[in-house]
Amino acid sequence: MKKKILKNMTILIAISMLVMFGLMIILIDQQSRHQMQEMVETEAGYVKLAVEESGISYLSEQTANVSPSRLTLIQADGAVLYDSAEPAEKMENHKERPEVKEALEKGSGKSTRLSFTMGEVTYYYALRLSNGNVLRVARTTDSVFITIRNSLIPLLLIFACVLAIAVLLTKRQTEHLVRPLNCLDLEHPLENDVYEEISPLLTRINQQNHQIAQQVETLKEKQDEYDTITENMQDGLIVTDKTVILSINKKALGLFHIKKKECIHKNILTLSRNQDLKACLDLALQGQSNNRIVEMEGGNYQFLGNPVRVDQEIRGAVIFILDVTQKAQNERMRREFTANVSHELKTPLMSISGYAELIMNHMVSAENTPEFAGRIYQEANRLSTLVADIIKLSKLDEQEDCLPMEEEVDLWMMANDVNWQLQQKAEERNITVKLKGESVKIHGNRQLLSEIVYNLVDNAIKYNVENGKVHIHVHRKGDHAEFVVKDTGVGIAAADRERVFERFYRVDKSRSREIEGTGLGLSIVKHGVAMHKGEIKVDSALGKGTKITVVFPL
């Protein structure tokens, strides 16, 4: 804008100066001509008096040399009697000359003639004498064009100097005018003390600023909401256009071990060269929703690809990455559990069926019938216990979120009750059970905590050696309660420690028939501890016994 103002002002000044110089020259020329005419007319009056007093003898060569004007004496018929510039006899008749004709009629006459070839202007003034003759006085001066030509160089120098000064002043003035505009505080437009003419513009800018601020705040809130939702998702999320990644959440970044700045606005191949991921994206960009299960990072992940359409045109794709590892494990465990349940139920049922068939077919003597009936009873009890444990696990799975967990339970008292319940079983194998510690109260489900304590102490007795020992210790440690069961039993191999909590898993399969149990006790324990937000640790070695520590938050 400053350059435009300076340019326009310079052109305007130049034009103004040219017009001014032209008008001045014309005015000066007119003024000069007016003065010349007055001088000619005055001189004509003097000469007329002199001629009428002295006669034609006044018009001599001396008079011509003294006067800068051209003097001509003309008879009434137009013949030239005297001329100070040329011989009279060589001059043509002047009767038709305008100034002479006018003088003869009115007593005086005048005319101006321009010579384009000579670039001169001649002013003629004629007076009629008393004897009828006409005295004409003429004077020649340069025309305005000659004046301009002769004064061109000085005029150009003056024009250049004045124009340069005017441009400098204009530049300073322009900067002075523009400076307030350059210093406008557009963040607070109404606080600017500038020209009144731009007040409507500043008011409009202020309104626009408020609208933009509101829109930015709305967009920021939506972006924060989107970021909060996506960053806290348990599943991976990738949003792309047709070529590059537009958004990716923390879960997906962690899965592919990459930083956000390394993949945003870049091709998805920079994220991972996994062909399943690329195929999922390609199908989504072709308008096809698709999903596939992929094994990666030691787990199972489901890629869900969906196209993003805007006005019926595919603009990008959204890819969800679901961690289905637990689902796959649960499915595997379900199949194993179903197979194990079938096997565990089949074994006592076959025994019951076999013993019953022998008795039914009278293949058992009377004295052996009680023994066979006892075996049927034992197998039926085993089957009942197995079904009861299965039902317990099923209920725990179903009631995980709705089981009451606000009862106050004293762990030491509960351990003492369990010790009393299992005292006879321990004495049958000559196993010593000792309980130590202090009263520690926690909040939870009494029945479920009783199952945990009972199963741990019962296992310590069942899998112990003859004349073995079981130590139970209940104590407070910081803001946690610890329940410890330590035995001198057969122990657990390192390879089996992680699997002892699986359903129907038995460490010593050769003794599984000899030892009463369903193989579900430790599964119930682990499930119950997890529902109480606790932690269970196993420290064991073959032939050296086992120590199980359960930590509950207070």
- Using a 10 angstrom Cβ sphere, with 0-12 exposed, 13-18 middle and 19 or more buried, the burial of residue 94 is buried
Torsions phi, psi of 109, nearest 5? -155, 155
In a 3-state reduction of DSSP, which class is residue 539? strand
What tokens does 477 get?
């440690």
Q: What is the 3-state secondary structure (H, E, C) of 464-527?
A: CCCCCEEEEEEEEECCEEEEEEEECCCCCCHHHCCCCCCCCCCCCHHHCCCCCCCCCHHHHHHH
* Separation of alpha carbons 414 and 23, rounded Å: 123
Q: What is the pLDDT of residue 61?
A: 62
DSSP letter for 78, please. Answer: S
Per-residue pLDDT at 510? 46
Three-state secondary-structure class, residue 233? coil
The length of the chain is 554
In 210-325, DSSP assigns E strands to 236-241, 245-248, 290-296, 299-310, 313-323
Averaged pLDDT in 10-residue chunks for the chain of 554 residues:
74 82 78 83 86 80 72 88 83 88 89 70 88 88 67 78 83 76 74 73 84 89 83 86 88 85 84 85 90 84 90 89 78 64 67 79 79 78 68 62 77 92 90 92 87 89 90 92 92 80 60 54 83 90 90 90
Query: Can you give the pLDDT at residue 513?
Result: 46
Query: How far is residue 25's CA from residue 218's CA, in Å, rounded to a whole number?
Result: 70
Q: How far apart are CA 206 and CA 186, in angstroms?
A: 8
pLDDT at 546: 92
DSSP letters spanning 85-142: SS-GGGSPP-TTSHHHHHHHHHSEEEEEEEETTTTEEEEEEEEE-TTS-EEEEEEEEE
Q: What does each C-alpha distance from 93 to 84, 360, 459 come to in angstroms?
A: 16, 180, 162
Angstrom distance (rounded) from CA 183 to CA 357:
108
Secondary structure tally for the chain: helices H, strands E? 14, 17
CA distances in angstroms from 97 to 11, 59, 110, 371, listed in the order given = 48, 21, 10, 175
Task: Report strand pairing: 134-142 vs 236-241.
Answer: unpaired
The pLDDT, as a whole number, for residue 146 is 66
According to the 3-state scheme, what is the secondary structure of 149-191?
HHCHHHHHHHHHHHHHHHHHHHHHHHHHHHHHHHCCCCCCHHH
Diameter of the chain by CA atoms?
201
Looking at residue 335, its pLDDT comes to 67
Is residue 36 a contact partner of residue 112, using CB atoms and an 8 Å limit? no
Residue 366, SS3 per DSSP:
coil
246 token code pair:
């537009």
What angle (nearest 5°) sits at the alpha carbon of residue 35, between those of residues 32 and 37? 110
Cα distances from 157 to residues 110, 154, 373, in angstroms, run 39, 5, 141
For residue 2, give the H/E element and its range.
helix 2-54
